[in-house]
Chain A
């Protein structure tokens, strides 16, 4: 897949390597739809990485860091060879795996050896030139709040939102945003007129890694997040990671069951909200896909006015 809408003036825009990762193609499809829609509206040129493979994140990293790193190195090499040296990963787990790979190869001779078994030394050196970008980092730094403010055409139809950054985007590398009280997502959303609730749990673990094994523990961690978000006046939570989004979205009934407190709030992706402000169609942004808070989403985005154009 590629996307480009080169400006008429003939200057060639910077092209990004787009690395979707597995979650984006599955449960997080709305993230991809909305991000690429935002790119289309802003004229961002991108090219999906040819023949990309698993990033090696999550459990793989803990079982065999070398093999995991090798997978990421392979993807970085493809990005380098494509000539588009900024690789954008919307998924925080992918971002971290790719970023870690670069760091480990640079720092640890042993890791260079392991990965070096799979590729020539020149390729290993080449990946040092690839810049690993999280989608938030790219949207904030390369486009920026003022550009979004200038392009925003549609008011926010909903209530306050809480920005949830999750753990992997900001830790251990504080390149996407600082690890304590990150603000970039807040700033982007405020720029397009979305009211933001401030809360202290922006980077607290969502429990995603636990829901498969210690389900009750994982669900409780998600519950603490949503409870506090609601207490601070948020009616939706905006995320930048398909794993966080999934975890907070699909287990709300379990939360209600285990605590007796009723939860049904939408969990959105950042580009869904940004794309809305830019005037995108609600289906093009995947705003019809959420599990929880479906009623709220319909009320906000597919009201009579929007519904008419939807048909």
Chain B
């Protein structure tokens, strides 16, 4: 730091996002009078090319060697401004941002106090940046392999995209088959493509791709490391069948001595039963059976005659199999763990779980599927065929009691099911909707088509489904009570079958995986993207990307688009081969270190060593993540940290609190210039600057 600081301050209007609440001109004027500030300007969009050019011109023409940008969160545009500094020949770390948008203009309404706050934040940044030093960016190698978590449509598409780019993919799926929720659907909206027909080729491609290692029945247990160098432990459940030997002939299933198909088949939403040895579903990939140790007599009763083993010509059964762990090293991770259908039992007013003929939309998908439990015949739980069917929308969506969000796909799902039920049963189908949301390509057109099918539409949120009859026509029926908001009447509609179009919820264990991966969730529990618009598949953790419904409800087309995007991000990292690490690591100033070793247990990553000859501690920069726990803990103040050094934080504090509460009078007027005045009071500048 040979040169005296020459600081430029740039206050962004962000269109009117900031300037509507903060008097940007006053903030710039206030900054102008701060020590070491050579130029202070305000501009409509600092992040635009013109805004960046402004900064770069000042760096060259005014000889600036420090820059403060008062704009949005550093989460958003710090990289942008750092790049601008670098291309103007300044070390990118000689920048400090003051967050006057997210943490000021957007959360306040009073212009005067918001402006005051912006002045404070800018002053803090100016004080801080004076102590910034040029830092060298460390490059870390990126391992070329990619881990994809989840083998639904998004995970499969991401895996295939990465694999097709010539990079190796580990695809980890919890169930014993890939396919996800889409494998359950009968047809897809709005084209009425057979769901399995369009998905099966993808499943096969995943299975046979030379660049994909597919592990089903497996879960990510632990992930550590950082972008470019993630190490993951994958726990693989025992399926008690050798995946390489089984050919899926199912003779073992026929031979199994377990009496009857009594175990609820999860794939068919419990609408049918299976044996303890089973194929997950007819078109499962890999087409390999699995043994359920929870019901197999060999496990529950300590042995049976094992007719399954006898009948298997390939000796594929292996009852001695135990779970095992695979450890892999990858450069990036794509998370595509999907959603859970809303648990309709929670919405007690609709009688799911009380009245047998109330179904969820997921169950109906299986019920009308040719490979489903009834071979596509719509036969109800009580053995009857419905003459009248009520389809209820927004079950577990747009409901402040459970999930306030719109699940986006349910309107179309309901329309699709109405169309199919109408076609296959000839029943009278009633739809009960709040608003019809058919916004995607071809979707409004599909709505029109279903209207022409003769399906009935009642606009109103259903109050309840009950089984009490007001008059003889309702005897033995399920009665849907609803306010028809088009006519203003409360209606009672008797039906034989009720379909609850359930929304999408985050997976119940999404929080566990979130912790394992160190990514964030939004308030709704879905994984949070780095930026809603500009980084929709990134997370706050570099090198971890999200795709599909784990990020929020979406349909198949959007899931696939997002998966492709996440795959592209992973490929970009992998192809580039290296990654810039933020130089925020800590280092020990040997002369000040007393060798007390207090810092060593504070480091969560074991990055601190002790060198015996000199009796000093040393930090391994390759392992240091820059959390700063050791810096705060060192009793000798011997540990320095890039970008978060003690002196920098103290300077930020000084700038922030300049004039505040000095002396015991706690004078309110003396601490900050009023928003309109361009001239800070003399005592405010005078006291603390030198």
Whether A181 is near chain B, meaning CB under 8 Å from some CB there, is yes
- Interface residues contributed by chain A, number (CB under 8 Å): 10
- Interface residues contributed by chain B, number (CB under 8 Å): 10
Chain B residues within 8 Å of A201, by CB: 466, 468
Complex Cα spacing A199 to B354, Å: 11
Chain B residues within 8 Å of A199, by CB: 468
Whether A283 is near chain B, meaning CB under 8 Å from some CB there, is no
Decide: A180 and B349 in contact? CB cutoff 8 A: yes
Complex Cα spacing A61 to B468, Å: 33
Chain B residues within 8 Å of A180, by CB: 347-349, 464
Chain A residues within 8 Å of B470, by CB: 224
Chain B residues within 8 Å of A181, by CB: 348, 351, 354
Chain B residues within 8 Å of A215, by CB: none
- Shortest distance in angstroms between B404's beta carbon and chain A's nearest beta carbon? 16
Chain A residues within 8 Å of B466, by CB: 200-201
Chain A residues within 8 Å of B351, by CB: 181, 200
The binding surface of chain A is classed by DSSP as loop
Residue-wise, chain A 190-203 has the 8 Å CB interface mask toward B (1 for contact) of 00000000011100
Whether B444 is near chain A, meaning CB under 8 Å from some CB there, is no
Whether B340 is near chain A, meaning CB under 8 Å from some CB there, is no
Decide: A200 and B468 in contact? CB cutoff 8 A: yes
Partner of B348, one of A178, A224, A228, A231: A178
Whether A179 is near chain B, meaning CB under 8 Å from some CB there, is yes
Within 8 A of A (CB), among B464-491: 464, 466-468, 470
Complex Cα spacing A224 to B351, Å: 20
Q: Which residue of A lies closest to B350 (CB)?
A: A180
Residue-wise, chain B 310-351 has the 8 Å CB interface mask toward A (1 for contact) of 000000000000000000000000000000000000011101
Q: Which residue of B lies closest to A182 (CB)?
A: B348
Decide: B348 and A200 in contact? CB cutoff 8 A: no
Residue-wise, chain B 532-560 has the 8 Å CB interface mask toward A (1 for contact) of 00000000000000000000000000000
Complex Cα spacing A200 to B354, Å: 10
Complex Cα spacing A306 to B466, Å: 40
- Indicate the member of A181, A224, A231 with the most B CB atoms within 10 Å: A181
Complex Cα spacing A107 to B219, Å: 43
Decide: A200 and B347 in contact? CB cutoff 8 A: no
Q: Which residue of A lies closest to B345 (CB)?
A: A180
Chain A residues within 8 Å of B354, by CB: 181
Residue-wise, chain A 169-196 has the 8 Å CB interface mask toward B (1 for contact) of 0000000001111000000000000000
Chain B residues within 8 Å of A224, by CB: 470
17 A–B pairs (Cβ distance < 8 Å), ordered by A: A178-B348, A179-B348, A179-B349, A180-B347, A180-B348, A180-B349, A180-B464, A181-B348, A181-B351, A181-B354, A200-B351, A200-B464, A200-B467, A200-B468, A201-B466, A201-B468, A228-B468
The 8 closest A-B pairs by CB, nearest first: A180-B348, A200-B466, A180-B349, A228-B468, A181-B348, A200-B468, A200-B467, A178-B348
Show the binding face of B for A, using Cβ within 8 Å. Answer: 347-349, 351, 354, 464, 466-468, 470
Q: A180-B348, A200-B464, A201-B466 are in contact. List 14 more A-B contacts (CB 8 A).
A: A178-B348, A179-B348, A179-B349, A180-B464, A181-B348, A181-B351, A181-B354, A199-B468, A200-B351, A200-B466, A200-B467, A200-B468, A224-B470, A228-B468
